[in-house]
């Protein structure tokens, strides 16, 4: 809907569509083709190990701190995003 209002006159137009619209159509078609390809799937058994637990904890703590924990008593820049 908004493509008619974009001011990108330098973008090539081919058969009434802009270049990025053609690449979007091509990516959808490639996705359809990849979805229809028959691929043999291996049978995987679930494996439990403590290294998986430690990796999950480390990544979880990093994500917990990086995504949205604010430290109310800290004076570091961006520490209190309230």
Give the tens place of pLDDT for each residue, 1-34.
Answer: 566 666 667 778 778 887 888 899 999 999 999 9
Q: Please report the pLDDT score of residue 71 as a whole number.
A: 65
Q: What is the pTM of this model?
A: 0.45
The mean of the pLDDT values for the chain is 82
C-beta of residue 30 within 8 angstroms of C-beta of residue 22: no
d(CA 67, CA 82): 14
> Which residues, listed in sequence order, are joined to residue 18 by a DSSP beta bridge?
13
Decide if pLDDT at 69 tops 70: no
d(CA 14, CA 62): 47
């Amino acid at each position: 809907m908004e493509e008619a209002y974009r001011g990108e006159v330098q973008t090539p137009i081919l058969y009434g569509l802009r270049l990025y619209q053609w690449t979007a159509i091509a990516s959808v078609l490639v996705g359809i083709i990849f979805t229809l390809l028959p691929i043999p799937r291996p049978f995987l058994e679930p494996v439990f190990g403590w290294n998986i637990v430690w990796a999950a904890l480390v990544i979880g703590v990093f994500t917990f701190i990086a995504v949205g924990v604010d430290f109310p008593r800290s004076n570091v820049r961006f520490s209190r995003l309230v």
